Amino acid sequence: MSEENCTHNCDSCGENCSSRKVNPADFIEKPNAMSKIKKVIGVVSGKGGVGKSMVTSMLAVLLNRRGSHTAILDADVTGPSIPKAFGLKQKAMGSEFGLLPVKTNTGIDVMSVNLLLEDETAPVVWRGPVIANTVKQFWTDVIWTDVDYLFVDMPPGTGDVPLTVFQSIPLDGIVIVTSPQELVSMIVAKAVNMAKMMNVPIIGIVENMSYVKCPDCGKIISIFGESHVEEIAAKFGLKVLCRCPVDPELAKNCDVGLVELANAPWLEAAADAVEKQ
Ligand SMILES: Nc1ncnc2c1ncn2[C@@H]1O[C@H](COP(=O)(O)OP(=O)(O)OP(=O)(O)O)[C@@H](O)[C@H]1O
C-alpha cells in the first residue's frame, strides 16, 4: 500500500491506498451460467431470533401462492432454519453444471447448508471467510432455474459475514425485520447505512412479534411495550410494511415443517411491496 505512487485516478492506478474509491459493483459475483433470476430480495435483521427466517419463508410462500416461482437462499449459515420450516429432509444433489436446490411441497426452491451437511444437528463451527464463501457459492454454483423472486435469508447483524453477502449478491431490495424489544433505531440506522453503501433500495420494515391478540376478547396486548417503529421509520424515510403479532399457530407450523400451510395475512402488505419493487 503506497500513497506515494497514487495517481489519484482509481480507474488507471493500481495502488490499493486509502484514497481508493470502492465501487460496490466491483465485488458482485456472477450467478451460475444456467441460473435465471428476475429479482433478488434480502431479508435482514439486527440480531438472531426476531423472526427473519419466518418472514423470509412466508414472503416466499405468499408470492408462490400468487403464482410466482419463488426460491430461498439460506445465507444464515450458522443458524439455518429454512429447511426445518419447510420440513425438508432430502439432501441437495449436484450435476456437472452446478448444485441443484431442493424443491418444497409447493415448488419453492431452497438451498441451505443443512441440505448439504451429513448431520443437520452438527454445529457449523467455521470462521467468517469460510461462511461468507459458502454463501457466495450458493449464488455462483447453484442453478436457480426461472426464479421470479429469490429471497436471501441474510446472516443476522451487520458484521463481516452479512457485509460480504451484501457485497457479493446483487440485491434488488431489502426488507428489514425488527422486533419491539430491540434497539430498533440503532439497528435500522446500521441497515440503512449498509444498504446505502451498496446502493441497495430498502423496501421497508416488518415489525415482528409486535403484539398479542387475546384469543378470548380480541384485545391487543403490546407485550414488549409500545412500538416506536413508525417514528423510527419516518426518521429514516422508510415505510413500515406491516406489524405481525405473536401467533402460536404460525410458530407451530414453522416448528413442525408446515410453513407452507400457515396463514399470515399481515404479511400480504409486505408481499405487495416486494411485488412492486
Ligand atoms: N410472529 C411470530 N409468532 C410466533 N412465533 C414466531 C413469530 N415469528 C417468529 N416466530 C418463531 O420464533 C422463532 C425464531 O424465529 P426465526 O427463526 O424466524 O428467527 P430468526 O430471526 O431467523 O432467527 P435466527 O437468525 O436465529 O435464525 C421460531 O421458532 C419461529 O417459529
147 occurs within a structural domain: yes
pLDDT at 184: 72
pLDDT at 48: 79
Average pLDDT over residues 21-43: 85
Residue 1 pLDDT > 60, yes or no?
no
* Pocket flag, ligand 1, residue 229 (CB < 6 Å): no
* Pocket flag, ligand 1, residue 81 (CB < 6 Å): yes
214 occurs within a structural domain: yes
**Residues in the annotated binding site for ATP:** 46-53
Domain that holds residue 169: 36-276
pLDDT at 21: 63
Residue 32 pLDDT > 80, yes or no?
yes
Task: Report the CATH number that the domain containing residue 51 is assigned in CATH.
Answer: 3.40.50.300
pLDDT at 157: 78
Using CA positions, which residue lies closest to atom 1 of ligand 1?
246
Ligand 1: atom nearest CA of 55 is: 18
168 occurs within a structural domain: yes
Q: Decide: residue 17, CB within 10 A, 0-12 exposed, 13-18 middle, 19+ buried.
A: middle
Residue 205 pLDDT > 80, yes or no?
yes
Among 67-81, 119-133, 188-202, which stretch is predicted with the lowest mean pLDDT?
119-133
23 confidence band (pLDDT: 50, 70, 90): low
Separation of alpha carbons 103 and 277, rounded Å: 25
Residue 99 pLDDT > 90, yes or no?
yes
Q: How many domains is the chain partitioned into structurally?
A: 1
167 confidence band (pLDDT: 50, 70, 90): confident
Asked whether 22 and 158 are in contact (CB, 8 A), the reply is no
26 occurs within a structural domain: no
Transcribe 191-213 into DSSP letters. HHHHHHHTT--EEEEEE-S--EE
* Pocket flag, ligand 1, residue 254 (CB < 6 Å): yes
1 occurs within a structural domain: no
43 occurs within a structural domain: yes
142 occurs within a structural domain: yes
257 occurs within a structural domain: yes
